[in-house]
Amino acid sequence: MSESERFSAGLERRRRAVGEEYVERAYASADEFTREFQDFVTTSCWGDVWLREGLDDRARSLITLSVLACSNKWTEFATHVQIALRNGCTSEELKQAFLHLAVYAGVPTGMEAFRHAQPVVAAHRE
C-alpha cells in the first residue's frame, strides 16, 4: 500500500475511532508546525498499526489503555477509553483490565485509570 493509500485508510479508521468532529478539530487546529505530525499519526498509528491483522480492535484498545496508563498519558487515556467503548469493549472489561493493571503496574496507576475512565464510561452510558 502506498503512503497515500495508508493515509486514506488511516484517516477513515481514525474517524471511526474518535469521530469525525475530533479529527476535523485536530486538522483545523494544525498549522505549518503541527500538520505533518497529524499526518504522521493518521498514517502510522491509524493506517499502519490499527489496521494490521492479528489482533481485533478490542484487544488493541485494552493494550493501548494499559500502555497509556503506565506512561501517565491521561489525556490520551481518556480519548482511548472512548475508542475502546466504540470498539465494543464493555465497562466490565475495562474494569477488569484496570484491576489487572493495578496488580502489575501499581495501585496508584490503577486508581488513576479508574479516575480518568469513570466520567467517560458514565457519559457513554447516557
- The overall pTM is greater than 0.85: yes
Cα–Cα nearest to 25, from 33, 10, 14: 14
* Model pLDDT for residues 3-54, shown as the tens digit of each residue: 999 999 999 999 999 999 999 999 999 999 999 999 999 999 999 999 999 9
Which amino acid appears at position 37 of this protein? F
Phi/psi of residue 56, nearest 5 degrees: -85, 170
At 60-100, the pLDDT tens digits run: 999 999 999 999 999 999 999 999 999 999 999 999 999 99
Q: Of the CATH numbers 1.20.1290.10, 3.50.50.60, 3.40.50.300, 1.10.8.60, which one belongs to the domain with range 55-126? A: 1.20.1290.10
Domain residue ranges in the chain: 1-52, 55-126
Separation CA 16–CA 83 (nearest Å): 9
